Amino acid sequence: MVAGSWRYVWAYVFVCAVMLYLYVPIAVTVLFSFANSPRLSLPIEGLTLDWYSRALDNPLIVTALRNTALLAAISAVGGCLMGTAFAFGVLKLRQERTRRVLLGLGLLPAVVPLLVIGVALAVFFRTLGSKPGLFNAAVGHVLISLPFVVLTLNARLETFDFSVLEAARDLGATPGRAFLDITLPLIRTSVIGAGLLAAALSLDEFVVTWFNVGTELTAPVLIWGLMRRGVDPSINALATMLLAALLVLILAATMTSRRAPQ
Amino acid sequence: MIPAVEVLDVGKSFGPFVALDSVNLVVHQNEFVSLLGASGCGKTTLLRIIAGFESPTRGQVKIAGEDVTAQPPHTRPTNIVFQRGALFPHMSVRENIGYSLKLRKWPKARIDEQVDRMLALVRLDGFGDRDPQKLSGGQVQRVALARALACEPRVLLLDEPMSALDLKLRQQMQLELRALQRRLGATFIFVTHDQTEALVMSDRIAVMNGGRVAQFATPRDIYRSPSSVFVSDFIGQTSLIPCEIVAAANGIAALRIASGAIVQASMARGLPVGAKAVLSVRPESVRLSAMTATLPEAALTGDIRDVIYLGPSTRVSVAIHPSLLVWAELRDEEAVGLSPGVKVSVSWAPEAALVIEEGAPS
């Protein structure tokens, strides 16, 4: 073999190692969620869906999943409404500098540590006298999804031809009518994509939720609680369900944004 | 007859930047008017003020005698054709054209009928179900035109609708647009930076400069009797020569130019003897002839600098003074024997050259 081929072999080995590092823990969790032995050890003797039915029989897990779904929906809708309005508002500003600064501030929470956001929100709600619970958690979820919605919508609006809106207004459409007839259909796929992304972010959010949700349960909070009492295989089932929901959301988000009109 | 559009003392500032500075313009009904100027002269701002997309800082806009200054675009009886068409990409050609009629709640059958008429008008029969993204540049502009005309606006505004098209297509569209305007008997206001386009299509041209209307007149008057050095320089090619008036009679002035030569030109405005002025002479009016020994001392002579072959004509520059060039545009046979360095005498008919006041408002 010539020297060049050996270089390729090493490259393959390295890529494989990274892939294993990235995916083995996830694969193991998914695998064990179908394993019929209660102990987490290899080799697996047989496959079963028992852990899933057991998880879904557990009222705590069902409540947690329902709350998680609710928060994801609120994040999607709330994040989209606020994020889209913000992206539009910023774009309409005449001053280039103000626009850049405001856009930057809108995106900043994406890099603020979640711990800081979580604690800050908890303190803020306490000052307001709002009891920890799903509402507070929902506010947190919308907050952390917003920068991503703003980023997605801003990217779409930067290529948006505003003269089509002027054309609609010129042809007799009121501002509201022009929005419904022209703007909305043209940005719809981006809005849906951003909403799915917001839902995906909310689905496995733990830090901000933990500080604000109080005694209510969401799937990540419940998993954390259960893990403290040892690893029950139904946790694997719950985690796998979360993973599946996330994959679906991310795939859907990617596909809608790819279908967006240019 | 009530004018179609009246722009009365309109000014517009964006912060410290003055885009329009006291513009007055009265456009008659069924008139084709071009707003002509370089980019930044305020022509598009003026069009957008008439359409209602910008509100003037001061002044008034009337359409058919009615003050519309405070009206939003959707209630004004004007429609605009945008530079790049601005077709709705998610609607078919037919839906695009019928959009204004749908907003006016016309019955479906009548909309279909009108859309078909509009498609025929812009010669796009059978294109109704096309996707706007699959149209060529020329077709996009035709659909935009049909869409703007569908609800029969009193005034059609066109914002450089052909600037994205190539030359051949542009020339063809110019003639079509002109014929269409005649046939419809509508008022068109057309923004362009292309002087040929403005000359070809317009009943009158408003030449704009620095947020003002420098001259508003017929194409012939703009070309033949520019009111200022700016207009003369902007429209067509011209040689501008600083001069001093030495005598004047019957609208013809004798002028002394920097080389000491005395030349003649027509003078519309009576300027006093001794006044400094600018002489404007169009290349096609300039005649060149080989030097003969019998020329009077005051005759205009010079050396040929450049000879540029243009196909139908040949353009020749003559240095009549170290820093003064006069351009002549000659037919092929007239250019025989002319080459750089040759000494020639330069002349023109006095009525073909024009004296313009030096400080005339631009």
pLDDT digits (tens, 9 = 90+) for A142-161: 999 999 999 988 888 888 88
Confidence of residue A180 (pLDDT cuts 50, 70, 90): very high
Cβ(A102)–Cβ(A260) below 8 Å:
no
Q: What is residue B225's three-state secondary structure? A: coil
**How many domains does one find in chain B?**
2
B238 and B160 belong to one structural domain: no
B11 and B37 belong to one structural domain: yes
* Average pLDDT of the residues in B29-48: 92
Closest CA to B78 of A152, A171, A158: A171
Least confident piece of the model among A90-99, B29-38, B209-218: A90-99
Cβ(B163)–Cβ(B82) below 8 Å:
no
What's the token pair of residue B178? 């002109």
B207 and B59 belong to one structural domain: yes
Rounded to 5 degrees, what angle do the CA atoms A11, A13, A15 make?
70
Q: How many CB atoms lie within 10 A of CB A194?
A: 30
B314 and B346 belong to one structural domain: yes
In a domain, B346, yes or no: yes
Q: Name the more confident of A48 and B73.
A: B73
CATH of the domain at B320: 2.40.50.100
Q: Which fold has domain A50-258?
A: MetI-like fold (1.10.3720)
Confidence of residue B296 (pLDDT cuts 50, 70, 90): low
Instruction: Give the amino acid at A13.
Output: V
Cβ(B187)–Cβ(B5) below 8 Å:
yes
Phi, psi of B263 (to 5 degrees): -130, 170
Res A92: pLDDT: 80
A170–B83 CB contact, under 8 Å: no
B83 and B166 belong to one structural domain: yes
B35 and B149 belong to one structural domain: yes
Say whether residue A174 is in contact with chain B using an 8 A CB cutoff: yes
Rounded to 5 degrees, what angle do the CA atoms B116, B118, B123 make?
95
Percent of chain B with pLDDT over 70: 97
Q: What is the pLDDT of residues A69-107, one digit of tens each?
A: 999 999 999 999 999 999 988 888 878 888 889 888 888
Closest CA to B61 of B27, B86, B112: B27
Cα B143 to Cα B93: distance, rounded to the nearest angstrom: 7
Per the structure, the complete domain to which residue B177 belongs is given by 5-227
Res B60: pLDDT: 93
> Which residue in the block uniquely carries the two structure tokens 């009246």?
B6
Res B362: pLDDT: 46
B148–A171 CB contact, under 8 Å: yes
Confidence of residue A21 (pLDDT cuts 50, 70, 90): very high
* Average pLDDT of the residues in B316-330: 89
Q: What is the pLDDT of residues B79-110, one digit of tens each?
A: 999 988 899 999 999 999 999 999 999 999 99
In a domain, B185, yes or no: yes
Cβ(B291)–Cβ(B343) below 8 Å:
yes
Res A262: pLDDT: 43
Chain B: give the shortest CA distance to residue A45, in Å: 56
Cis peptide before A175 (omega within 30 of 0): no
Domain boundary among B164, B195, B227: B227
In a domain, B223, yes or no: yes
Res A257: pLDDT: 67
Which string of b and e fits B155-170 if b means at least 16 CB within 10 Å? bbbbbbbbeebeeeeb
Cα B79 to Cα A87: distance, rounded to the nearest angstrom: 29
Max CA-CA distance within chain A?
Answer: 74
Res B298: pLDDT: 61
B213 and B243 belong to one structural domain: no
Number of H helices, E strands in chain A: 12, 0
In a domain, B268, yes or no: yes
Q: Is it the case that residue B205 has pLDDT exceeding 50?
A: yes
Cα B124 to Cα B121: distance, rounded to the nearest angstrom: 8
Q: Is it the case that residue A2 has pLDDT exceeding 60?
A: no
- For an interface test with B, give the residue of A156, A166, A171 to mutate (most B CBs within 10 A): A171
Chain A: give the shortest CA distance to residue B143, in Å: 13
Cα A162 to Cα A179: distance, rounded to the nearest angstrom: 11
Domain boundary among B227, B259, B286: B227
In a domain, B9, yes or no: yes
Chain A: give the shortest CA distance to residue B74, in Å: 4
B9 and B107 belong to one structural domain: yes
Would you list the domain boundaries of chain A?
Answer: 50-258
Chain A: give the shortest CA distance to residue B50, in Å: 11
B61 and B123 belong to one structural domain: yes
Q: What is residue B143's three-state secondary structure? A: helix
* Average pLDDT of the residues in B23-27: 93
In a domain, B362, yes or no: no
* Average pLDDT of the residues in A111-136: 89
B238 and B191 belong to one structural domain: no
Of B51, B86, B100, the CB nearest to A164: B86
Q: Which residues pair with B289 in a beta bridge?
A: B345
Cβ(B48)–Cβ(B22) below 8 Å:
no
Q: Name the more confident of B131 and B299.
A: B131
B91 and B165 belong to one structural domain: yes
Q: Given the DSSP bridges, would you call strands B204-209 and B66-67 parallel, antiparallel or unpaired?
A: unpaired
Which string of b and e fits A27-59 if b means at least 16 CB within 10 Å? eebbbbbbbeeeeeeeeeeeeeebbbeebeebe
Q: Name the more confident of A230 and A159.
A: A159
- For an interface test with A, give the residue of B63, B74, B104, B141 to mutate (most A CBs within 10 A): B74
Q: At what angle do helices A114-128 and A134-158 cross, to 10 degrees?
A: 130
Say whether residue A164 is in contact with chain B using an 8 A CB cutoff: yes
What's the token pair of residue A68? 């998680």
Classify residue B83 by its DSSP letter: T
Domain boundary among B166, B196, B227: B227
In a domain, B284, yes or no: yes
Of A164, A169, A170, the CB nearest to B88: A164
Say whether residue A166 is in contact with chain B using an 8 A CB cutoff: yes
Measured in whole angstroms, the distance separating CA A182 from the mean position of its chain's CA atoms is 28
Contacts of A233 (CB under 8 A, 6+ apart): A32, A33, A35, A38, A40, A51
B221 and B234 belong to one structural domain: no
Closest CA to B268 of B361, B360, B356: B356
